[in-house]
Amino acid sequence: MPEKQIVDYFNEPKQYEKSEREFWLDPYISKQLLKAHLDQTNDGASRKLSVINRSVDWLNEVVPVAEFKRVIDLSCGPGLYPERLAKKKYDVTAIDFSKNSIDYARSAAEEQGLTIDYRCESYLSWKEQEQYDLALLIYCDYGALSPEDRKLLFENIYTSLKRGGKLILDVFSLQKLTNFQSENSWTLHDSDGFWSTGKHVVVTRNKKYDHGVTLEQTILLKEDDTIMNFNIWHQYFDLQKITSELEEASFEIVTYYADVCGNKYTEQSETICVIAEKKR
Ligand SMILES: C[S@@+](CC[C@H](N)C(=O)[O-])C[C@H]1O[C@@H](n2cnc3c(N)ncnc32)[C@H](O)[C@@H]1O
């Protein structure tokens, strides 16, 4: 294959084209992401703890520990939900493919004397059969996957649940998409920043694609002349689309909310939280 030229990085990606690198797994960026998960001044990688506390209280009401003891948290990040669920006596397994986040989560659990089964792996290769009463997929991670990966993830979750088990997930709504601004921009950073150490240029392409899909692309030009590209895709949903993807995976919808705190869903809600059940 001919070597990739600088200008090739600026070609517009085809819908769902993967970048050579995975944003969450880059050694430098994953450290910045861990800081973002824990940062209480914004909702960057995880929601603020005040919201997470409310979510876990609500989960404890709608899927009480007496009936939904065995929980799997998919894409658990640094373990903010698993810790709180374990404190409410759920028996928690939690998966994330970021070693940095899982290492942090394991040591935080140990410090607090909590027993949580943390696993550093991708939920796309994870396979278990009828182990869990409840699966969680929180903070709109589902919409960041391609249609093929979404299908695979729902199959994996369905197989892992016991009959009567529930899946609770949230996705960004079409209302959220209306706030998305398409734009191209670049910024010169003189020193260490979110994307890189040292002097670097960050080129950003935010673009709306067809059928409720967006791209947030970052092309990073570093001082040593290396170039990196990160494509972050997102699918936005209405009730019909998320319902049909869940039903295709054999789930039955139990109910919808605006968010994982149990607020009422309206057409103005920026997220949709769904509770679905494996009935058969
Ligand atoms: C937006 S964060 C949400 C983290 C957590 N659910 C929370 O709300 O605090 C998305 C997480 O998904 C993880 N992730 C992305 N793709 C994954 C995959 N294929 N397998 C496992 N984890 C994945 C990332 O490492 C990151 O921790």
Residue 108: pLDDT band with limits 50, 70, 90: very high
Residue 2 pLDDT class (50, 70, 90 cuts):
low
264 or 6, higher pLDDT? 264
The one-letter amino acid at 58: W
**Residue of the CA atom closest to atom 15 of ligand 1:** 75
For residue 132, the model assigns a pLDDT of 98
Which parts of the chain fold into alpha helices (H)?
27-38, 49-62, 80-87, 99-111, 147-160, 174-177, 239-248
What confidence category does residue 1 fall into, taking pLDDT thresholds of 50, 70 and 90?
low
Which CATH number do you get for residue 75?
A: 3.40.50.150
Residue 20: its pLDDT value, please? 87
Q: Is the same domain home to 204 and 106?
A: no
pLDDT for residue 5: 84
Residue holding tokens 């936005």?
Answer: 236
If asked whether residues 191 and 158 sit together in one domain, one would say no
Taking only the tens place, the pLDDT of each residue in 22-49 is: 999 999 999 999 999 999 998 989 999 9
147 C-alpha to ligand 1 centroid (Å):
17
Average predicted confidence (pLDDT) for the chain: 96
Residue 58 has pLDDT above 60, yes or no: yes
Could you tell me if 54 and 149 lie in one domain?
Answer: yes
Which residue in 58, 31, 87 sits closest to 170, CA to CA? 58
Give the residue from 95, 93, 102, 77 showing the smallest Cα distance to 134: 93
Do 82 and 116 have their domain in common? yes
Q: Kindly list the protein residues whose Cβ atom lies closer than 6 A to any atom of ligand 1.
A: 24, 37, 45-46, 75-77, 80, 95-98, 101, 122-124, 138-139, 141
